[in-house]
Amino acid sequence: MIIDDILKSAYSPLADVYDRISKWKQLKDDLAIKTRLLYLECSRNLALLSTVQLDRAGSEIAADDEDYLAVVGGLEIDVLEMLFFEGEESSKFFKLLNAKMDESVDDPGEERQARGRDSTPPTIIQACVALYVSIYTLRKIAQMPRKGIAFRKVNFRTRLRNIRSNFLAIVKMLSRQKEVDAILREKP
C-alpha cells in the first residue's frame, strides 16, 4: 500500500503535465488560440497583481507581507509552462515567440545584469521563461517556513514589481498581434 501511495503521488503531477502537453499539442499550429491563451493568462496575472500595493514605498508594508505571499500563490503559469513544449521551430506561434520585446522589459535581478544594459532586448519566449522561473521560484520560497537565519531576505514586493513589469511588456506586445487585436477592437 505504501508503495502504491508513493507511486500515485509521483505519477499525479507528471500525469497532469503530460495531459496539459497533450492538449496543447492538439492545438497544433493554431496561432490565434495559443496567442490568446498566453494573452489571457498574462492579463489575469496583471489583474491579480493590481490588487496589492506594489509601488508604495516606505516601511508601512513589509517586503514579505502575507498579502504578497498570497498573490504569489495565485499567479498562473500553465500557459507559460506549455511554451517549453512548443517544439515546432517552423510553427507560426514559435516565430511569434521569437519576436524581440520592447526595451521596457525589466528582467529580474541576475538576468538583467548578465545581459547588460546595452544588449539587445529579449524575445517574447525569453521574457516568458524569465517569468516562469521567477514565479515558480517565488511560489516555492513562499511555501517554505523561514524560521532560521540562513535564508536570504526575499523582497517579494520588488520581485512582484519585476514580474508585473514583464507581464505588462508581454501583454503590450501580444495586444499588437492581429489575433489579439481583432478581439480587443471587436464591438458587439
pLDDT digits (tens, 9 = 90+) for 7-22: 555 556 677 777 888 8
What's residue 44's pLDDT?
97
What's residue 148's pLDDT?
75
Give me the average pLDDT of each 10-residue run along the chain (188 residues).
57 73 81 92 96 77 87 94 75 86 57 57 91 95 81 86 94 92 75
Other CB atoms within a 10 A radius of the CB of residue 178 amount to 10
Tell me the H-state helices in the chain. 2-26, 31-49, 66-74, 78-82, 92-97, 109-115, 124-143, 156-175, 178-185
What's residue 94's pLDDT?
84
Q: Coil, helix or strand for 28? A: coil
What's residue 51's pLDDT?
93
How far is the C-alpha of 48 from the C-alpha of 51, rounded, in Å? 6
